[in-house]
C-alpha cells in the first residue's frame, strides 16, 4: 500500500502540504493515528511523576498534538475550499470523533489538577508575561469547559460536544448543497440591465456547469449584482427567494430541526457550566462580558440606522416612481433602486467603477498598504504545490528581506466551495520549540471572469480578509495557542476591519485603482463621487447587520429553544424590533453559518460591530495626524497585529490610542450622526 502523504514529512517549500498527493481516503487513517498519538502525549503529561511545572505541563501541552493539528488544518481547509462527496463523507464521520477526542483531552481530570496547582502557585513561578497570560487563559478555558465538574457532568459535556459537531457539520453541508443545487439559467433576452462584467460572470458560470446561456448562482458575487442591476423584477424575485430560502427548503437539507437541537444542546451546556443561558456563558469570556453590554451597543446604533433607512426608502421610492414603478417596494427591489438612487444623487455608477478595480490591482493595493504600514513585501511563488489552479502563493518577506510567512490566495467562487469570505491557517507562527513561520490562506468568492473586476464591496472584503491574514502573518507570539487570530472573540475582527480604511485613502485609490485595459488611473471626478457616496445605503447595511446580531442574542437567550418554531420566531422577532418594511435579516437562521455551521460566532455575531467601534476610533487617530501612514501610529498598530493573545486586548488598544475607544467615530463613519 502506498505511504500516506499526510503522515510523511512535508518537504515542499516552507512545509506546504503535499496537495498533489493527498486524497480523501488518506484522512481517516491519518486522523486515527494522530488522535492516538495526541492521546499518548497527553497521558504522558498527566502521569508525569515530577511535580507540575510550566515546562512539563503548560509548554508540554503546547507541544502535544502536532500531528493532529497538521492533519486537521489541512482537512478542514480543503472541506471549506474544495469540498467533494468523498471529503464530506469523511467530515460527517470524523467531526464527532474529533469533538469527542478534544473534549476528553480538555476534561482530563489529571491535566486539570496539574494546571490548577500551577495556577494557584502562579505568583511564585517567576513567569514571563506571555507565560503568565498563557497559564491564566489555559486555566480559565479549562474551567469554562467544565474540567472542574464531577465525572457525570464531564461525561455529559463530552456527549454534547460530540453531538453538536455532527449537527454543525450537517448544517453547513445542507447550506452548501442548497447553494450548489440552485441556479437560474437565463436566455439573452433576460439579461436586461446587467452590465458587461455581470454578463461575463454569468456566462462563465454557465460554462462551468456545461450549459448554454447565462447562469445566476447563489454565490453572493453572482446573486447580489443580479439583484442590483437586473431590470427584470420577476427574475429578481426568483433569485431573491432562492437566496433567502437556503436551509429552509423542505426535505433533506432543511436546517430548522437542526437549529432547535443545536440551541437546546448549547443551552444545556451553559446550565451545566453554571450560566443561565448560552449567551451569558459565551460573553463571560469576551470583552463585552454580558449580553446587556452587547444589547446597549446594538440599540445605540439601531435607532439612528432605522432613521437613516427611512430617509433612504423615501429616496428609493421617489426614484422608482420616476421610472414608472408604482408598486410597493419589496425586498428584491431594494438593491436595484438603491443603485438607481445613488446614481442619481451622486452621479455615480457602480458599473462604471468596476473597470478600475481589477482583482490584480486591488491585491497590489493591499500588498502596498501592508508594505507602507508594516515594512513587509510579497513575492509570488510558482514552485508551491497548490490544491486548485485558481490558488496563488505569495512569500512574505520582512524589512530585512528574510522569510516571514506564506500567503495563499483563493479568490474565486466555484462549486464545492462554501460561500462568503474567510481567512484560515494551515500553520500558525510560533517560536517556543524552534522558529515556525505561518502559512495563511484567504478565501473569497469573486465571480470568475476574464478579467476579474471587483465591486467596491468586494475590494473592501479583499482588504478585510487580508487584515486577518496579516494578523496571522505578523504574529511574534512564542506559543501557538497565543498566535495570530487566537484572541478574544470580540477582538478578532479589529485587525481585519481597521485595514479596510486604507482602501478609501485617496492616495491608495489614485495609485492602484487603474483601468484594466488602459492602465489609466481612476478619474478624479469618479474618485470624489466614490468617496462622497460611501455613506449612501448605510441605513440599509446597518439595519441588515444589527438585526442579525440581535436575533443571534435572542436565539441564544431563549428559555425554550427545543419548542421553537423557527419561522414563527423570526417573524415575531422582526415585529418586536420594528424591522422596517421590505427589510430582511442579512442572515436568516436557516443559513446563518456563523451561528450554526460551527460554534465560533454563536452568541457572537455582534463582534463585527464591537470591533468596528475600535477600528473607526483607531483610524480616526491617523486622520487626526493628517497622515494615513503616520510611522509612529503604524508602529503602534503593528504591535497589536504582532501580539496575538500575549496581552489583554483592551490593554493593547489603550497602548495604541492612549485612551478607551469611543463610539462617535463609528456613527460618523456610517453617516449616522444627527446634526
Q: How far apart are CA 257 and CA 590, in angstroms?
A: 10
Domain ranges of the chain: 5-106+108-145, 182-244, 256-348+537-605, 355-532
DSSP H or E run through 378: strand 377-381
Give mean pLDDT, residues 398-419: 95
pLDDT greater than 90 at residue 352: no
Asked if 261 and 165 touch (Cβ cutoff 8 Å), the reply is no
Q: How does pLDDT run across 450-475, given as a tens digit for each residue?
A: 889 999 999 999 999 999 999 999 99
Q: How far apart are CA 412 and CA 425, in angstroms?
A: 18
pLDDT greater than 90 at residue 65: yes
Cell triple for 197:
462584467
Q: Which fold has domain 5-106+108-145?
A: Glutathione S-transferase Yfyf (Class Pi); Chain A, domain 2 (1.20.1050)
If 0-12 CB within 10 Å is exposed, 13-18 middle and 19+ buried, where does residue 565 land?
exposed
pLDDT greater than 80 at residue 2: no
pLDDT at 346: 77
Give 3-state DSSP helix, strand, coil % of the chain, rounded to 5: 60, 10, 30
Asked if 605 and 297 touch (Cβ cutoff 8 Å), the reply is no
Q: How does pLDDT run across 415-446, given as a tens digit for each residue?
A: 899 989 999 999 999 999 889 999 999 999 99
Q: What is the DSSP letter of 659?
A: S
Report the predicted TM-score, pTM, of the whole model to 2 decimal places.
0.93
Q: Please determine whether the domains at 5-106+108-145 and 256-348+537-605 fall in the same fold group of CATH.
A: no
pLDDT greater than 70 at residue 1: no
pLDDT greater than 80 at residue 673: no
Q: How far apart are CA 35 and CA 40, in angstroms?
A: 9
Q: How far apart are CA 498 and CA 611, in angstroms?
A: 9
Burial 170-200 (b: 16+ CB within 10 A, else e): bbbbbbbbbbbebbbebeeebbebbbebbbb
In 3D space, the residue among 592, 613, 662 whose CA is nearest the CA of residue 497 turns out to be 613
Q: How far apart are CA 23 and CA 6, in angstroms?
A: 9
Q: How does pLDDT run across 218-259, given as a tens digit for each residue?
A: 998 899 999 999 999 999 999 999 999 999 998 999 999 999
Q: How does pLDDT run across 579-603, given as a tens digit for each residue?
A: 998 899 999 999 999 999 999 999 9
% of the chain at pLDDT higher than 70: 100
Q: How does pLDDT run across 605-664, given as a tens digit for each residue?
A: 999 999 999 999 999 999 999 999 999 999 999 999 999 999 999 999 999 999 999 999
Q: How does pLDDT run across 26-63, given as a tens digit for each residue?
A: 999 999 999 999 999 999 999 999 999 999 999 999 99
Cell triple for 466:
487580508
pLDDT at 599: 92
Higher pLDDT, 25 or 415: 25
Whether domain 256-348+537-605 has CATH 1.10.1370.10: the reply is: yes
Of 3.40.50.1820, 3.40.50.150, 3.40.190.10, 1.10.1370.40, the CATH number of 355-532 is: 1.10.1370.40
3-class SS of residue 309: helix
Among 2-6, 297-301, 469-473, top mean pLDDT goes to: 469-473
pLDDT greater than 90 at residue 327: no
Angle between helices 631-643 and 649-657 (to 10 degrees): 170
Q: How does pLDDT run across 508-532, given as a tens digit for each residue?
A: 999 999 999 999 999 999 999 898 8
3-class SS of residue 383: coil
Give mean pLDDT, residues 147-174: 97
Annotate 37-102 with DSSP letters as a single string: HHHHHHHHHHT-SSPP-IIIIIIHHHHTTHHHHHHHHHHHHHHHHS--HHHHHHHHHHHHHHHHHH
Asked if 262 and 167 touch (Cβ cutoff 8 Å), the reply is yes
pLDDT band at 341 (very low <50, low <70, confident <90, very high): confident
% of the chain at pLDDT higher than 90: 89
| Residues labelled catalytic | 465
Asked if 451 and 515 touch (Cβ cutoff 8 Å), the reply is no
pLDDT at 671: 87
Q: How does pLDDT run across 94-136, given as a tens digit for each residue?
A: 999 999 999 999 999 999 999 999 999 999 999 999 999 999 9
pLDDT at 674: 62
pLDDT at 103: 97
pLDDT band at 342 (very low <50, low <70, confident <90, very high): confident
Mean pLDDT, the chain, integer: 95
Q: How does pLDDT run across 353-374, given as a tens digit for each residue?
A: 899 999 999 999 999 999 999 9
Whether a cis peptide bond, with omega within 30° of 0, leads into 114 is: no
pLDDT at 615: 97
Amino acid at each position: 500500500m502506498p505511504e500516506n502523504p499526510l503522515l510523511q514529512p512535508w518537504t515542499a517549500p516552507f512545509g506546504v502540504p503535499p496537495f498533489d498527493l493527498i486524497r480523501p481516503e488518506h484522512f481517516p487513517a491519518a486522523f486515527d493515528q494522530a488522535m492516538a498519538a495526541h492521546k499518548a502525549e497527553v497521558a504522558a503529561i498527566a502521569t508525569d511523576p515530577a511535580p507540575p511545572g510550566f515546562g512539563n505541563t503548560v509548554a508540554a501541552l503546547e507541544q502535544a498534538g502536532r500531528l493532529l493539528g497538521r492533519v486537521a488544518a489541512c482537512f478542514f481547509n480543503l472541506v471549506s475550499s474544495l469540498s467533494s462527496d468523498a471529503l464530506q463523507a469523511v467530515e460527517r464521520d470524523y467531526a464527532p470523533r474529533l469533538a469527542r477526542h478534544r473534549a476528553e483531552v480538555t476534561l482530563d481530570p489529571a491535566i486539570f489538577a496539574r494546571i490548577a496547582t500551577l495556577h494557584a502557585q502562579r505568583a511564585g513561578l517567576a513567569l514571563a508575561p506571555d507565560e503568565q497570560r498563557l497559564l491564566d487563559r489555559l486555566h480559565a478555558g479549562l474551567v469554562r469547559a467544565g474540567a472542574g465538574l464531577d465525572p457525570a457532568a464531564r461525561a455529559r459535556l463530552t456527549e454534547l460536544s460530540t453531538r453538536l459537531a455532527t449537527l454543525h457539520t450537517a448544517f453547513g453541508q445542507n447550506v452548501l448543497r442548497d447553494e450548489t443545487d440552485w441556479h437560474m439559467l437565463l436566455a439573452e433576452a433576460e439579461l436586461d440591465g446587467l452590465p458587461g462584467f455581470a454578463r461575463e460572470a454569468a456566462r462563465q458560470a454557465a460554462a462551468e456547469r456545461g450549459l448554454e446561456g447565462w447562469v445566476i448562482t447563489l454565490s453572493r458575487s453572482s446573486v447580489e449584482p443580479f439583484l442590483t442591476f437586473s431590470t427584470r423584477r420577476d427574475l429578481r424575485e426568483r433569485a431573491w427567494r432562492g437566496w433567502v430560502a437556503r436551509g429552509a427548503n423542505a426535505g433533506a437539507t432543511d436546517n430548522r430541526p437542526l437549529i432547535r437541537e443545536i440551541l437546546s444542546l448549547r443551552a444545556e451546556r451553559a446550565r451545566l457550566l453554571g450560566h443561565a443561558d448560552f449567551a451569558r456563558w459565551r460573553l463571560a469570556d469576551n470583552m463585552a462580558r454580558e449580553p446587556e453590554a452587547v444589547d446597549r451597543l446594538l440599540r445605540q446604533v439601531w435607532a439612528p440606522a432605522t432613521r437613516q433607512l427611512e430617509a433612504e426608502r423615501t429616496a428609493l421610492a421617489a426614484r422608482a416612481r420616476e421610472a414608472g414603478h408604482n408598486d410597493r417596494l419589496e425586498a428584491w427591489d431594494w438593491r436595484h433602486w438603491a443603485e438607481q438612487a445613488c446614481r442619481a444623487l451622486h452621479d455615480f455608477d457602480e458599473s462604471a467603477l468596476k473597470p478600475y478595480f481589477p482583482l490584480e490591482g486591488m491585491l497590489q493595493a493591499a500588498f502596498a498598504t501592508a508594505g507602507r504600514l508594516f515594512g513587509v513585501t510579497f513575492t509570488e511563488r510558482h514552485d508551491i504545490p497548490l490544491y486548485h489552479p485558481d490558488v496563488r502563493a505569495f512569500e512574505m518577506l520582512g524589512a530585512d528581506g528574510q522569510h516571514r510567512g506564506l500567503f495563499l490566495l483563493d479568490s474565486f467562487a466555484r462549486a464545492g466551495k462554501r460561500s462568503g469570505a474567510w481567512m484560515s491557517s494551515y500553520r500558525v507562527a510560533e517560536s517556543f520549540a524552534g522558529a515556525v513561520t505561518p502559512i495563511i490562506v484567504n478565501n473569497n468568492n469573486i465571480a470568475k471572469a476574464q478579467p476579474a473586476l471587483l465591486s467596491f464591496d468586494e475590494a473592501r472584503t479583499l482588504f478585510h480578509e487580508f487584515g486577518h491574514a496579516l494578523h496571522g502573518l505578523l504574529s511574534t507570539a512564542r506559543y501557538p495557542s497565543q498566535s495570530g487570530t487566537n484572541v478574544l472573540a470580540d477582538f478578532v475582527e479589529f485587525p481585519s476591519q481597521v485595514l479596510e480604511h486604507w482602501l478609501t485613502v485617496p492616495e491608495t485609490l489614485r495609485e492602484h485603482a487603474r483601468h484594466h485595459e488602459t492602465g489609466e488611473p481612476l478619474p478624479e471626478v469618479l474618485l470624489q463621487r466614490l468617496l462622497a457616496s460611501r455613506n449612501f445605503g448605510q441605513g440599509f447595511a446597518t439595519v441588515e447587520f444589527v438585526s442579525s446580531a440581535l436575533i443571534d442574542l435572542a436565539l441564544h437567550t431563549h428559555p425554550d429553544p427545543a419548542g421553537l418554531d423557527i419561522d414563527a420566531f423570526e417573524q415575531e422577532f422582526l415585529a418586536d424590533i420594528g424591522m422596517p418594511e421590505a427589510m430582511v435579516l442579512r442572515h436568516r437562521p436557516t443559513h446563518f453559518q456563523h451561528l450554526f455551521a460551527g460554534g465560533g460566532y454563536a452568541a457572537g455575531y455582534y463582534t463585527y460591530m464591537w470591533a468596528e467601534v475600535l477600528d473607526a476610533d483607531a483610524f480616526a487617530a491617523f486622520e487626526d495626524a493628517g497622515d494615513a501612514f503616520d510611522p509612529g501610529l503604524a508602529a503602534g498598530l503593528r504591535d497589536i497585529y504582532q501580539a496575538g493573545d500575549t496581552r489583554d486586548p483592551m490593554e493593547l488598544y489603550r497602548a495604541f490610542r492612549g485612551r478607551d475607544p469611543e463610539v462617535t467615530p463609528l456613527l460618523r463613519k456610517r453617516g449616522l450622526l444627527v446634526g
